């Protein structure tokens, strides 16, 4: 504080409005939703306090809950595995492409498209052969009829079809973050390394990777949280169906609250989601702090 | 330099726009403020003993929100709601009616969300019986008895129809129709496949499905992403295997369980239909509107749906080629004159509406003009109100006359699953039926799943 040479009152004046908003819009709803998670409530009529009944049902009796958690976590892992790929691509772009910005902008385009549009677009790609689906059409014209599937309605593969769309959409987003990170590493370091005989991938190993760790961490956390909250794409493309085969935590929460009229139960799922988000953000942060310390 | 100048201009323009929009916000706010005050005045007057004030809607500027489920410009309902609201606004220049138009499923969710925060739109859509009960119990809907007595609106409805929307002798909504489930079929496609007559038994229907499938024609159109569509068809089979209506009511009353042979038989019959390839590929990712379009564009031979689609079919490319038949008997059981009954979605008014009187006045106008307008738009089949005029003479299609004839044969029937059971059980049922589209299941296990859900959500 003293370093800034600004009176505490001024600092408070700038912080308080934001802090208040944040508390009201983030912390209060979380607490309220935790509380409603303890109720048996249809969202309309009077409620009944059931303690941890909703949580017990969720953990032990709900056949949809754990599979949806598994799908969500798998999705999170897949989108985190995408980040190293983005980083590699960013490094290559930075080294071999003179005006990489144009390319990065092109990769970024899917991100600015609305998820609803993306969903409809990929639905026409995934459609069954009889409805003129593009992907199946390509397989048929290559003589690979056995590869055709009803991508969005076969329970065993529908979820992977959704993962792919999402990974495709956010590839450009993480590429942009990594690319900016790579560009911000000063050229002098590479020049100095070159004199010392470290060039190409050796320079990446000893200069780029250690310096990119903080940026990498941001991408990982964004990818992780983003995929835990995955909702819109699933809703547009399959609605969680067929028969819950593509339900993730948030669609299950939505269906419970708004279609089954179990508002309290939906809130319990929401609470679980918040806790998981906080927990994993903490874990990821700790891991990366260790990494950063190791490199410095 | 140019760049910097452009930036400056852009900044100034942006600031100007923001200032304007802020001003606009301010304006509308003060307007609504004035609105409230104006409205408070006549109410205060009533309090002091002037009871006539409430019956005559005031001349104050009023905006009513009308949430509705008629989003498809190709359908007669879309025109109906716009023409009726425009006509009302012309007669009442002080009233503005804003349409909040959504798909059926979206509207259900939006209303639920709004209800949770007690912000129900002035006029909205609810569904009959079990589906609207929670809203009535929560005191969110206004009783409409007084409104129904005006201009003889109540007497226009078919006898007994309003019962589906009444609780404790109060009517809380007026229906947009009273329909039955029928099977539409495309006569051209049937002829193309060499099928002479529509099936009268389920076994014949399965046979026709296989013939159509072999000819490369989709036998039955459906949009099972909206899972009520499959359930509606399934329930018709159950109505047959049970030998008559009342299965769900018997379950609720504890006289039967879902593990009853009638239910298991219905699941087996339904699976036979799926296994025969009756439905389009990827049916569970097709929404209801798109599913209907498969039939309406002549790509499917049959469509098992409510008679409310008659007007839309007559306005589509397959108009004139379509006939309808009653759902056949299953394993020799059931009576084809018993139908899945579908008392329509219904218009209700928010109990907390700031303009309750105006909303009632509008809905009364809407309800009385509704049959005439629908008749004019050739959409009067299955509207649940008495219509003056002869269909045939007015140029209605053979299909419409045919369907109107089926109404005269109705000997009773059942309501849809989600109109009878509580929402939580209904959701389990809907996804269980959706699952049958993609996986062969043991029918006893399906029955068990239903029973477990029913017991857990009693």
Write down the pLDDT at residue A161: 92
Q: What is the 3-state secondary structure (H, E, C) of A57-117?
A: HHHHCCCCHHHHHHHHHHHHHHHHHHHHHHHHHHHHHHHHCCCHHHHHHHHHHHHHCCHHH
B107 has a pLDDT exceeding 70: yes
B404 pLDDT band (50/70/90 cuts)?
Answer: confident
Residues contacting residue B118 through CB under 8 Å, at least 6 positions apart: B140, B352
- In this structure, what is the dihedral angle of CA atoms B450, B454, B457, B458, given to the nearest 10 degrees? 180
- Mean of the pLDDT values across residues B321-333? 93
Q: How confident is the model at residue B48 (pLDDT cuts 50, 70, 90)?
A: very low
pLDDT at B393: 81
Chain length of chain B: 458
Grouping H, G, I as helix, E, B as strand and the rest as coil, residue B437 is helix
Statement: residue B122 has pLDDT above 90: yes
Interface of A with B (CB under 8 A): 42-45, 123, 127-131, 150, 152-155, 237-239, 241-245, 255, 258-263
Highest mean pLDDT among A198-212, A231-245, B352-366, B369-383: B352-366
- The pLDDT value given to residue A191: 86
Name the average pLDDT for chain B: 84
Q: What's the gap in Å between the CA of A187 and the closest CA on chain B?
A: 28
Q: pLDDT tens digits, residue range B214-235?
A: 998 999 999 998 888 999 999 9
Q: Kindly report the number of other CB atoms within 10 A of residue A38's CB atom.
A: 19
Dihedral sign for Cα atoms in the order B71, B77, B83, B86: negative
| B77/B257 Cα distance (integer angstroms) | 39
- Which residues of A fall within a CB distance of 8 Å from B300? none
Predicted confidence at residue B41, as pLDDT, reads 38
Longest dimension (CA), chain A: 75
Q: Render pLDDT for A115-174 as a digit per residue (tens, 0 to 9).
A: 999 999 998 899 887 777 889 889 888 988 888 888 888 888 899 999 999 999 999 999
Contact assignment for B140 to A131 by CB distance below 8 Å = no
The confidence band for B57, taking pLDDT boundaries of 50, 70 and 90, is low
- How far from chain centre, in Å, is Cα B85? 19
Per-residue pLDDT, averaged over A17-37, amounts to: 91
Segment B432-447 shows an average pLDDT of 92
Average pLDDT rounded to a whole number, residues B353-379:
91
- Which pLDDT does position A296 carry in this prediction? 65
Q: How far apart are CA B347 and CA B360, in angstroms?
A: 11
Calculate mean pLDDT across residues B187-206: 93
Question: Of B271, B239, B264, B266, whose CA–CA distance to B420 is shortest?
Answer: B239
Look at residue A4 in the predicted model and tell me its pLDDT.
67
pLDDT of B46 > 60? The answer is no
Tokens linked to A208: 């780029």
**Model confidence at A43: pLDDT above 90:** no
pLDDT band at B29 (very low <50, low <70, confident <90, very high): very low
Within 8 A of A42 by CB-CB distance, chain B residues are 134, 423
Section B33-47 average pLDDT: 38
- Do B181 and B236 meet the contact criterion of CB atoms below 8 Å apart? yes
> What is the structure's pLDDT at B75?
81
**Residues of chain B positioned with their CB less than 8 A from the CB of A130:** 218, 280-281
In whole numbers, what is the pLDDT of chain A averaged over residues?
Answer: 87
- Find the mean pLDDT for residues B331-347: 91
d(CA A229, CA A125): 25
Question: Whole-angstrom Cα distance, residue B98 to residue B100?
Answer: 6
Band the pLDDT of A97: cuts 50, 70, 90.
confident
Confidence of residue B49 (pLDDT cuts 50, 70, 90): very low
Of A204 and B173, the one with more pLDDT: B173
3-state secondary structure of B51: coil
pLDDT tens digit string along A272-286? 999 988 898 899 889
Whether ipTM tops 0.85, in short, is no
What is the rounded distance in angstroms from the CA atom of residue A66 to the CA atom of residue A53?
17
Candidate from A3-7, B50-54, B144-148, B264-268 with smallest mean pLDDT: B50-54
Nearest-angstrom CA–CA distance, A174 and A224 = 12
Q: Position of tokens 């995955």?
A: A230
Share of chain B above pLDDT 70, in %: 87
Asked whether residue B12 carries a pLDDT value surpassing 80, the answer given is: no
B113–A258 CB contact, under 8 Å: yes
Residue A108 burial (C-beta neighbours within 10 Å; 0-12, 13-18, 19+): middle
User: Quick one: CA torsion of B190, B193, B194, B195, rounded to 10 degrees?
Assistant: -40
**B281 interaction partners in chain A (CB closer than 8 Å):** 128-131, 150, 153
Answer yes or no: do A245 and B438 touch at CB < 8 A.
yes
| H or E stretch at B376 | helix B356-376
């Amino acid at each position: 504080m003293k370093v800034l040479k600004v009176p505490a009152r001024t600092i408070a004046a700038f912080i308080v409005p934001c802090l208040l908003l944040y508390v009201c819009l983030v912390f209060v709803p979380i607490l309220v939703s935790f509380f409603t998670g303890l109720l048996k409530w249809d969202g309309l009529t009077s409620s009944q306090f059931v303690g941890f009944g909703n949580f017990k049902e969720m953990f032990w009796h709900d056949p949809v809950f754990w599979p949806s958690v598994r799908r969500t976590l798998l999705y999170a892992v897949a989108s985190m595995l995408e980040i190293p790929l983005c980083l590699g691509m960013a490094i290559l772009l930075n080294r071999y492409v003179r005006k990489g910005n144009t390319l990065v902008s092109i990769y970024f385009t899917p991100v600015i498209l609305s998820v609803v549009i993306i969903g409809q677009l990929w639905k026409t790609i995934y459609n069954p052969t009889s409805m003129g689906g593009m992907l199946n059409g390509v397989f048929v014209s290559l003589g690979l009829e056995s590869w055709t599937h009803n991508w969005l309605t076969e329970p065993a593969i529908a979820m992977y079809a959704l993962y792919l769309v999402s990974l495709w959409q956010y590839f450009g987003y993480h590429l942009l973050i990594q690319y900016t990170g790579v560009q911000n590493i000063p050229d002098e370091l590479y020049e100095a390394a070159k004199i010392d005989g470290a060039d190409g991938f050796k320079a990446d190993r000893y200069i780029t990777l250690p310096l990119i760790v903080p940026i990498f961490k941001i991408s990982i956390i964004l990818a992780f949280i983003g995929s835990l909250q995955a909702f819109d794409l699933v809703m547009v493309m399959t609605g969680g169906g067929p028969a819950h085969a593509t339900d993730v935590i948030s669609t299950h929460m939505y269906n419970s609250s708004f279609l089954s009229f179990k508002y309290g139960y939906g809130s319990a799922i929401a609470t679980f989601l918040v806790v998981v988000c906080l927990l994993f953000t903490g874990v990821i942060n700790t891991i990366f702090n260790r990494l950063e310390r190791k490199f410095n | 330099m140019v760049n910097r100048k452009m930036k400056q201009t852009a900044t100034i323009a942006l600031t100007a726009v923001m200032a304007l929009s802020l001003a606009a916000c301010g304006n509308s706010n003060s307007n609504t403020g004035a609105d409230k005050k104006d409205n408070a005045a006549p109410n205060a007057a009533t309090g002091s003993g002037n009871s006539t004030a409430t019956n005559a809607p005031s001349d104050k500027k009023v905006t009513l929100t009308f949430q509705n489920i008629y989003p498809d410009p190709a359908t007669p309902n879309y025109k109906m709601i716009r023409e009726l609201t425009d006509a009302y606004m012309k007669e009442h220049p002080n009233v503005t009616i804003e349409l909040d138009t959504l798909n059926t499923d979206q509207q259900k969710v939006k209303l639920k969300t709004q209800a949770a925060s007690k912000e129900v739109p002035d006029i909205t859509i609810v569904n009959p019986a079990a589906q609207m009960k929670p809203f009535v119990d929560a005191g969110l809907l206004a009783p409409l008895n007084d409104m129904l007595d005006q201009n003889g609106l109540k007497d226009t409805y078919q006898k007994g129809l309003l019962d589906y929307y009444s609780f404790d002798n109060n009517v809380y909504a007026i229906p947009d129709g009273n329909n039955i489930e029928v099977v539409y079929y495309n006569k051209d496609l049937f002829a193309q496949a060499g099928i002479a007559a529509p099936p009268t038994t389920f076994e014949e229907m399965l046979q026709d499905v296989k013939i159509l499938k072999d000819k490369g024609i989709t036998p039955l159109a459906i949009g099972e992403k909206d899972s009520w569509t499959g359930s509606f068809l399934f329930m018709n089979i159950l109505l047959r295997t049970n030998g008559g209506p009342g299965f769900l009511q018997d379950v609720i009353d504890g006289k039967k369980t879902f593990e009853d042979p009638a239910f298991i038989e219905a699941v087996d019959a339904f699976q036979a239909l799926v296994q025969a390839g009756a439905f389009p590929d990827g049916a569970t990712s097709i929404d209801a509107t798109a599913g209907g379009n498969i039939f309406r564009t002549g790509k499917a031979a049959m469509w098992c749906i409510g008679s409310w689609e008659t007007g839309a079919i007559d306005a589509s490319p397959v108009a004139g080629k379509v006939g309808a038949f009653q759902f056949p008997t299953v394993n020799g059981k059931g009576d084809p004159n018993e139908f899945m009954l579908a008392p329509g979605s219904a218009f209700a008014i928010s109990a907390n509406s700031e303009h309750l009187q105006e909303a009632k006045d509008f809905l009364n106008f809407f309800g009385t003009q509704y049959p005439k307008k629908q008749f004019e738009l050739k959409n009067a089949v299955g509207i649940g109100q008495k219509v003056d005029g002869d269909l045939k003479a007015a140029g209605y299609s053979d299909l419409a006359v045919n369907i109107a004839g089926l109404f005269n044969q109705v000997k009773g029937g059942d309501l849809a699953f989600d109109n009878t059971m509580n929402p939580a059980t209904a959701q389990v049922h809907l996804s269980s039926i959706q699952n049958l589209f993609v996986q062969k299941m043991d029918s006893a296990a399906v029955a068990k799943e239903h029973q477990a859900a029913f017991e857990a959500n009693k």
